[in-house]
Structure 1
Amino acid sequence: MAGYAVGHLHDVAAGPAIVEYLERIDATLEPYGGRFLIHGARPDVREGDWSGDLILIEFPDLDSARAWYDSPAYREIIPLRAENSRGAILLIDGAGDDHRATDVLA
């Protein structure tokens, strides 16, 4: 089952540090099979309020997502993002192909 890294960022200071982060992150994803599914798109908000940027990175599984986040290459560039934005970053399992909404009731 796929694993995901999700970022919900606010107040991104789009200066040299963020540019460097963006230039370096793809190389950190490659060894772990990570790929961007959402990055930089503006949402069409249908209900509620939304602010910030949503980033969704898919990995083959949650262990790969954890290995990427904990890798020396990614840990090295985290400050470039963290010191120039605020927000939440999380790692989470995806739903399997046979998942149904009622499965969460079990």
Structure 2
Amino acid sequence: MSKGYWIVAYRSVSDQAKVKAYAELARPPIEAAGGRALVFNARPEVQEAGVQQLTVVIEFPSIEAARQAYASPAYAASLEALGDGAERDFRIVEGLPQ
């Protein structure tokens, strides 16, 4: 079974308080789905295609777990808290077969 990943590139952050509230609310549903942070980098080296303020990569035991965490009501509450506090590029991707 392949692992699943959330890859999130924050293009801009307009409200740090909203981002902090999001992070606090997002942690429990991520951890409940078996997710763990692999990357949290506030100073990414952008080589192509624009500006980033933050890059986050979360690993899940499976692509299904990654999808279920995103679709959970608890994660939806974290997105509501984030609101317009940041502009992000959010991807759910499947890892290579193991």
> What TM-score results when the alignment is normalised by the length of structure 2?
0.84
Match of 2:20 in 1: 19
Measure the CA separation in 2 of the matches of 1:28 and 1:49: 31
* 3-state secondary structure, aligned to 2:13: coil
- 1:14-93 equivalences under 5 Å are 14-45=15-46, 47-48=47-48, 50-52=50-52, 53-93=54-94
Q: Which amino acid aligns with 1:22?
A: A
- Name which one, 1 or 2, has greater alpha-carbon Rg: 1
* 3-state secondary structure, aligned to 1:38: strand
CA deviations over 1:68-103 (Å, ceiling 9, x no partner): 000000011113334111121111100124xxxxxx
The answer on whether the counterparts of 2:33 and 2:60 sit within 8 Å (CA) in structure 1 is yes
CA deviations over 1:10-48 (Å, ceiling 9, x no partner): 111243221211222211111100011111342345x43
Match of 2:10 in 1: 9
Measure the CA separation in 1 of the matches of 2:44 and 2:82: 22
Structure 1: gaps spanning 5 or more residues: 98-106
* 3-state secondary structure, aligned to 1:96: coil
Give the aligned CA root-mean-square deviation in angstroms.
1.8
Stretch moving more, 55-64 or 81-90: 81-90
Measure the CA separation in 2 of the matches of 1:33 and 1:11: 28
Q: Share of identical aligned residues, percent?
A: 27
* 3-state secondary structure, aligned to 2:92: strand
Residue-pair matches, total:
96
> What TM-score results when the alignment is normalised by the length of structure 1?
0.78
